[in-house]
Amino acid sequence: MNRRKFIQLGVIGAGASLAGVDPLRSDPVAPSTAGKSPVTVAMPISVAPLVQRDLDVMFDDMRTRAGVNALFIFIYSHEPHRAGVEAEGFHGGNYARPHMEFYRDTPLTLADMSAPEFNNMDVLERVIPVAKKHGIRVFPFILEDNSLPEAVKANWETLYEVDHHGQRTSGHPGGPCFNNPGYQNFTLGLVEDYARSYDIGGLMWGSERQGGLLNTLGLSQSSGIDPGRTTCFCEFCQKKGAERGIDVERAQRGFGEVETFVRNCRAGRQPRDGYFAEFWRLLLKNPEVLAWENLWATSRHELQASVYRKVKAINPALQVGWHVWQNVSFSPFQRAEENLADLAECSDFIRPALYNNVAGGRFKVFAKGAQASVFGDLTPEATVEVLTRQLNYNEAPYDRLAETGFSAEYVARETRRSVAAVTGHPVQMWPGVDIDVPVGAGESHCTPDGVAAAVKAAFQGGAEGIILSRNYVEMKPENLSGAGKALRELGVI
């Protein structure tokens, strides 16, 4: 019996023990499993509690409640909420110590990369030995910033994307450009620094973005995106696009036409032949737009492959994986673009963000955006119905989505789909399950039973590990215990 199959059966026969069977895939050796490799149960966490709290007490709490054996630290961030500190005067950066020999050919200076918030404390240096004592491996979690604070703008901004009007971006939905050598060198330097300087279990990298076409069309869980800011047309992307045989000017002009379409839609000007026909006509007239979109998506995968090769060349035992933005769960368009099969050869694990409770409100926002352009011929209710069928879900209708959230069944379906995408490769799926991800007013809240159901659903879908999400400091203790109860019933911990 293979191991994945065993876990699936474990779900059916809740309470089954894993003792005496093949060790589950994973490198760590936690004290409790003496020689066996346990299933990874990971906990993302911001920096502040790792500096301010008693680590022994905190790690003991995580292990006791939910068997946590891996810590995913938001270790490099210029986002105050990920660091866990006040926004006023925020700087951010690397909460470990940047070793400058790894950062060559990037405009970023030591001052740009050093996070001064906790007296330049090296958080990895502080945390790793204590975590180890508790049987917890440490993974730097490098999640791209969504915006830049003023304090680091001068140099960082030069790495950011340029929109189709030639304006530099400095935040979501734009971001650092995957084709900018300065950003590539920074990213590869950062992962090399972590891999060589610290006793880590591996690392996870993530980018909560999608290609410019989808942003321009408003096909996003983020609302109110300016359609005039399609990316990227920086000098490096222009050069790469031209080398791929794309007519750069036609691509740029095409995005101008998509922008006009979206502005007209938002102004309530109905296209003569209907919204969907007009959208399709834009693609027919401007195939360069799709080619440019593909350039963006494949460039990100190329950077991911480089990260993987870099880390593996340093230490093949380190596990390298990817956070996948939840927008993929709502958008058949991004689902097509973010094909996990394309990452199968350069991943040890993948974390699809499957936050079921908060998904209801997020899906509603996505549907509104889609209904304001491509699906303008439909009502919001019908848009949700169409999308739900396209995505193969069985969820609440539009008017009840926010108050119900998504079901645990969604977690199982999306895990199963993700697992199927990497068939034939030794890639582990470690879904991110929702434990009190913040919701809007009137939206549903997590419960211990709901969290337990989502955790079980992930393993039912073929998960081989789990990332309790999205941040320890957001979680109610009883809901974290709900996850632990499910993991115990499954025999995972």
By CB under 5 A, name the binding residues for Zn ion. 177, 179, 232, 234, 237
Nearer to Zn ion, 140 or 182 (CB): 182
Per-residue tokens: 115: 């996070």
Q: Least distance to Zn ion from the beta carbon of 178, Å?
A: 7
Nearer to Zn ion, 161 or 342 (CB): 161
Nearer to Zn ion, 133 or 165 (CB): 165
Nearer to Zn ion, 47 or 237 (CB): 237
Q: Least distance to Zn ion from the beta carbon of 246, Å?
A: 13
Q: Least distance to Zn ion from the beta carbon of 234, Å?
A: 3
* Angle (CA) 365 366 367, round 5°: 90
Nearer to Zn ion, 38 or 174 (CB): 174
The answer to whether 149 and 172 are in contact (CB under 8 A) is no
Residue 43's DSSP bridge partners are 71
Q: Least distance to Zn ion from the beta carbon of 179, Å?
A: 5
Q: Give per-residue burial for 412-447: e unless 16+ CB within 10 Å, then b.
A: bbbbbbbbebbeeeebbbbbbbbbbbebeeebbebe
Q: Least distance to Zn ion from the beta carbon of 262, Å?
A: 22
Nearer to Zn ion, 189 or 212 (CB): 212
Q: Least distance to Zn ion from the beta carbon of 274, Å?
A: 34
DSSP 348: S
CA atoms within 13 A on the CB side of 65: 21
Distances (CA, A) of 364 to 150, 209, 247, 368, 389: 33, 18, 36, 6, 15
Rounded CA-CA distance 121/125 in Å is: 8
Concatenating the DSSP letter of every residue in 390-451 gives HHT-----HHHHHHH---HHHHHHHHHHHHHHTTTS-PEE--EEESS----TT-----HHHH
Instruction: Classify residue 313 as exposed, middle or buried by CB count within 10 Å of its CB (0-12, 13-18, 19+).
Output: exposed
Nearer to Zn ion, 237 or 433 (CB): 237
Q: Least distance to Zn ion from the beta carbon of 157, Å?
A: 13
Rounded CA-CA distance 81/266 in Å is: 32
Nearer to Zn ion, 179 or 347 (CB): 179
Which residues, other chains included, contact 333 with Cβ-Cβ below 8 Å and sequence gap of 6+? 214, 217, 219
Rounded CA-CA distance 93/78 in Å is: 5
Nearer to Zn ion, 70 or 177 (CB): 177
Q: How many CB atoms lie within 10 A of CB 85?
A: 20
Q: Least distance to Zn ion from the beta carbon of 295, Å?
A: 9
Q: Least distance to Zn ion from the beta carbon of 368, Å?
A: 29
Nearer to Zn ion, 289 or 490 (CB): 289
Nearer to Zn ion, 237 or 251 (CB): 237
Where are the strands (E) in 87-238, listed by range?
Answer: 93-94, 137-143, 202-206
Q: Least distance to Zn ion from the beta carbon of 160, Å?
A: 9
Q: Least distance to Zn ion from the beta carbon of 296, Å?
A: 8
Nearer to Zn ion, 232 or 246 (CB): 232
> Containing H/E element for 489?
helix 477-490
Rounded CA-CA distance 340/418 in Å is: 7
Q: Least distance to Zn ion from the beta carbon of 235, Å?
A: 8
Q: Give per-residue burial for 345-379: e unless 16+ CB within 10 Å, then b.
A: ebbbbbbbbbbbbbbbbbbbbbbbbbbbbbbbbbe
Long-range contacts of 196-199 (CB under 8 A, 24+ apart): 196/99, 196/102, 196/314, 197/96, 197/97, 197/99, 197/124, 198/96, 198/124, 198/125, 198/128, 198/138, 198/140, 199/128, 199/132, 199/138
